[in-house]
């Protein structure tokens, strides 16, 4: 797998604020890559540098082997960036917007691609109307269509589902997964960690301008030694607390359910204790760590450093 984006020693500051601090990152061709971090972590600044919206102070970025400064024409053609903020040109209809945008990327007569995008993003019946008449979700779809109109190799989605209803979110992901399966590289930033967990192959977690961890989704999740055991009993568990004295557990208001968070090595001991209660168990569930746990751990770790 060859490298789609190579980022080396990128620094960017706004006055006293170090927005990006010595960022190094490789994103491979065909990857579905997640860029996660709390607000102000530097994700959008990094994407801004990639797209030529933000000046970097130092460092080097290449896109498909081309430098973003010296070969900016090539790199911009390779990138399709969906910005976080919804913007639209009020003078032009949806179709006109996409035609003009195709032209910006040097493409004439792009009708087939435009039709494909309008169809994929369910904008066919809105093609001839102005963006002022579109709902927020439709404007977001238009933004995505604009970023894809030149058929870029690398698609960067900066919070694409913020404020978007569930139906659109699902249809958008279906389309993005399809693009990824066609070989497109996808870079996603999102606040919805479950989306990143479901979609991304590899994830970088940023905090305070630094990349605190980059790894495969599985490795990141496995790095958290946590299991959550939920047990539902037929009768209230009250009176048995002393049996579970060594275990840290939460009990529900009706006292029929307990939830225990534990390290993997204690699983056997805990299950044995529960069994020793000799109560009727009507349901049981064991959950592994989630990306959210990794995210919280790594971004808190950043706080501890200060």
Partner 1 sequence: MTINTITFLSLVKREVSRFSKVAIQTIFAPLISTGLYLIIFSYSFQNREVAGYGIPYINFIVPGLIMMSLIQNSFANTSSSLIGAKYNGIIIDFLLAPFSHIELTLGFMIGGMVRGMLVGSVTYLVATFFYGGAVAHPFLAVFFAILVSSIFSLFGIIAGLWAEKFDHVSIFSNFFITPLTFLSGVFYSVKGLPGIWSEVSLFNPVFYMVDAVRYSFVGQSDIAPAFSALVIGSLVVILLVIVTYLFKIGYKVKS
Closest CA to 67 of 7, 135, 142: 7
Kindly state whether residue 104 participates in binding partner 1, applying the rule CB under 8 A: yes
Kindly state whether residue 129 participates in binding partner 1, applying the rule CB under 8 A: no
**Which of 58, 60, 65, 73 touches partner 1 (CB under 8 A)?**
73
CB closer to partner 1 out of 153 and 243:
153
Within residues 177-216, the interface with partner 1 by CB under 8 A covers none
CB closer to partner 1 out of 36 and 47:
47
> How does DSSP classify residue 141?
H
Q: With contact defined as beta carbons under 8 Å apart, do 12 and 45 qualify? A: yes
User: Please, what is the minimum distance in Å from the beta carbon of residue 100 to partner 1?
Assistant: 5
Residue with tokens 């269509």, as numbered in its chain:
145
Kindly state whether residue 72 participates in binding partner 1, applying the rule CB under 8 A: yes
Q: Is 169 exposed, middle or buried (0-12, 13-18, 19+ CB in 10 A)?
A: middle
**Which of 52, 164, 175, 266 touches partner 1 (CB under 8 A)?**
52
CB closer to partner 1 out of 121 and 196:
121
Count Cα neighbours of 69 within 13 Å in the Cβ-side half-sphere: 10
What is the spatial distance between Cα 249 and Cα 213, in angstroms, rounded to a whole number? 31
Kindly state whether residue 103 participates in binding partner 1, applying the rule CB under 8 A: yes
Kindly state whether residue 67 participates in binding partner 1, applying the rule CB under 8 A: no
Contacts of 73 (CB under 8 A, 6+ apart): none
Q: Give me the residues that bind partner 1 (CB under 8 A), please.
A: 14, 48, 51-55, 72-74, 76-77, 79, 81, 83, 85-92, 96, 100-108, 146
């Amino acid at each position: 797998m060859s490298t789609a984006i190579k980022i080396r020693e990128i620094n960017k500051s706004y006055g006293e604020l170090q927005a990006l601090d010595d960022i190094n990152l490789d994103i491979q061709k065909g990857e579905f890559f997640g860029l996660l971090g709390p607000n102000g972590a530097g994700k959008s600044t990094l994407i801004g540098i990639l797209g030529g919206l933000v000046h970097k102070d130092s460092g080097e970025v290449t896109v498909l082997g081309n430098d973003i400064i010296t070969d900016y024409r090539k790199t911009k053609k390779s990138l399709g960036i969906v910005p976080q903020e919804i913007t639209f040109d009020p003078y032009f209809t949806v179709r006109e917007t996409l035609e003009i945008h195709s032209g910006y990327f040097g493409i004439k007569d792009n009708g087939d691609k435009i039709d494909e995008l309008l169809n994929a993003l369910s904008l066919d019946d809105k093609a001839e109307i102005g963006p002022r008449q579109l709902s927020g979700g439709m404007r977001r779809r238009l933004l995505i269509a604009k970023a894809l109109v030149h058929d870029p190799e690398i698609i960067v989605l900066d919070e694409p589902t913020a404020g978007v209803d569930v139906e659109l979110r699902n249809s958008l992901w279906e389309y993005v997964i399809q693009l990824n399966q066609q070989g497109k590289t996808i870079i996603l930033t999102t606040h919805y960690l479950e989306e990143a967990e479901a979609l991304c192959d590899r994830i970088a977690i940023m905090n305070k301008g630094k990349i605190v961890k980059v790894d495969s989704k599985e490795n990141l999740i496995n790095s958290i030694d946590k299991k959550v055991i939920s047990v539902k009993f037929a009768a209230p568990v009250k009176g048995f607390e002393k049996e579970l004295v060594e275990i840290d557990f939460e009990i529900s208001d009706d006292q029929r359910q307990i939830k225990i968070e534990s390290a993997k090595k204690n699983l056997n001991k805990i299950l044995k204790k529960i069994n020793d209660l000799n109560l009727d168990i009507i349901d049981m569930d064991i959950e592994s760590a989630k990306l959210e746990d990794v995210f919280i751990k790594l971004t808190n770790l950043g706080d501890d450093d200060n």
